[in-house]
Structure 1
């Protein structure tokens, strides 16, 4: 049926996002654009616009920039660009930022603060050259999000404050001193750096008094954490079982206990159940590991940062920019490995909502070709309309019960990992 009235906008968005090439996507958008006036699409592309400095980049050693798209170009559809295309070349202003997490700051801080003297490793020279460019916007939010839990700790708060000062130096780096003297310092006076860091710290103190903010942060972190705890329990408990048995157990958990099916977490589970500890993100996770829960909580922050990149894509930082492209700077090879597991083909979102719809290049729920047909049918049972409706009905109730889910899963892993025998 070709009538526009026969299609819901949400269904059309999915149709466009799941197309295999840009011409097909554009044809569908052209056909249905009257119903998509506030929807925006970003496609990974071999041609098109360049999303600032957020394209993937590997420095010579451990450091890397990772955005959400693996290509150097993107192609966008929205109401304004669609009309501009009819009249030739389109131009759309963008914003972008590069985030640094706690791992990155731990790596960079000794050189920024002057604790380590002398020449930096070549890799760090490349990093500092990169962040010193005037168009590179440094975002400290991943570091802040990880450290809200530590801000009331008098010992930790001094370290947080020093790191916030280091962020301000990076955001206002003296390019002349860096290029000509190899010195990392800000062109701002020390008093201004200190004042800006104090203001940022004050904002963090203000935020921790907001119970809704903290509850939301805690919820999203726990949502990542429980997925990891369950993956590890399955990997240990079903060590002698088939890959498809493990995958089914994880999807059943997502369906029954979380009332959601997240593609990125499914892709991670897929790789972990195939590779085990060879997937270095899980390299420290094993039976009788005393710090297993702390490791998993830190890993959950890594997953949260990736999710936040997806979320940030929907943000509009100022009225003049039509798109925002976030990226993360990290020195954690294991995190890079996890990000690269799930390349994205397209992102769509409604301009009035901060709800990205992710379309991966490879559907993690469509398993490898060597999986038997009955296994595929077992996986597909979680994606019927009835199953989706069941998750929709149960989602709020499960969200309210997340703390009990955490406790149950930790108790399960405690037994499975034989932590009672350490």
Structure 2
């Protein structure tokens, strides 16, 4: 819509006027809505959407299991186990979510404060948390959407009055984002990294680096990642069972 803004009228008359008629603007909006509706009814899109949510839910389950199972262990043990379980169940390293995990393990975040052990609504609340994080991160992927051939960029936005959700955003800040227009892959640059885990010694950081971030470790994950994705549903069941055995 702002592409069609009459800039001169705004500057000189302080009025919002558009170069296109109301009918033309409505027509463009309807076309874009049709594209989005088609996207939601597209089977492949829905499969990918579900996979992305399961990935986030598995991460929440991993963090929850470590929080309760290793509550008396060191921060190093918890973070090491976090990456170890990432590799086992996801076939990838969720470095960005490690910021949230680190904050929880070091008691800098009350992320699980509203979740009580033995709660009847435990899984529902954890899934709600996963949805919150998933929706925020999905906005980054949405920046690659092309809703109009005439649009250079699509800037997604989200308005929320959920205080808990707003607090989560701080754990997922980016310093930059690059994406490939051909295949819509995104390449985020995180505002948080391993160096920011101040409670880990340099020796511990090096041990984590050597265990999970060498060329061999990365290649191994690339070779197994797709198989891990194919069994996300089974992994969710396994992790939920392990978690319930803890409580």
Q: TM-score, normalised by structure 1?
A: 0.48
Q: Give 1:212 shift.
A: 3.0
1:258 pairs with one of 52, 77, 90: 90
Q: Gapped runs of 5+ residues in structure 1?
A: 1-51, 53-92, 95-133, 136-195, 418-422
Residue in structure 2 matched with residue 215 of structure 1 by the alignment: 47
Deviations along 1:292-329, one digit per CA (max 9) or x if unpaired, are 11111111111111121110112222223222221210
Distance 1:343 1:217 in 2: 22
DSSP 3-state at the match of 1:347:
strand
Q: Give 1:257 shift.
A: 1.8
Q: Give 1:256 shift.
A: 2.1
DSSP 3-state at the match of 1:375:
helix
Deviations along 1:121-174, one digit per CA (max 9) or x if unpaired, are xxxxxxxxxxxxx89xxxxxxxxxxxxxxxxxxxxxxxxxxxxxxxxxxxxxxx
Maintained 8 Å contact 2:96/2:192 = no
Deviations along 1:325-377, one digit per CA (max 9) or x if unpaired, are 212100111111111123211101112121111101221x3343342232112
Deviations along 1:37-96, one digit per CA (max 9) or x if unpaired, are xxxxxxxxxxxxxxx9xxxxxxxxxxxxxxxxxxxxxxxxxxxxxxxxxxxxxxxx69xx
Residue in structure 2 matched with residue 312 of structure 1 by the alignment: 142
Distance 2:176 2:244 in 1: 39
Q: Give 1:246 shift.
A: 0.7
1:330 pairs with one of 154, 157, 160: 160
Distance 1:323 1:338 in 2: 26
Q: Gapped runs of 5+ residues in structure 2?
A: 5-15, 18-29
Distance 1:396 1:370 in 2: 34
Q: Which has the higher strand share?
A: 1
DSSP 3-state at the match of 1:405:
helix
Residue in structure 2 matched with residue 366 of structure 1 by the alignment: 195
Highest CA radius of gyration, 1 or 2? Answer: 1
Q: Give 1:211 shift.
A: 4.0
Maintained 8 Å contact 2:146/2:154 = yes
2:102 pairs with one of 270, 275, 298: 270
| 1:321-400 correspondence runs (5 A) | 321-363=151-193, 365-380=194-209, 381-400=211-230
Distance 2:82 2:191 in 1: 21
Maintained 8 Å contact 1:221/1:300 = yes
Change (3 A) 1:235 1:370: closer
Q: TM-score, normalised by structure 2?
A: 0.80
Maintained 8 Å contact 2:97/2:172 = no
When the two structures are aligned, how many residues end up with a matched partner? 220
Q: Please tell me the root mean square deviation across aligned C-alpha atoms, in Å.
A: 2.8
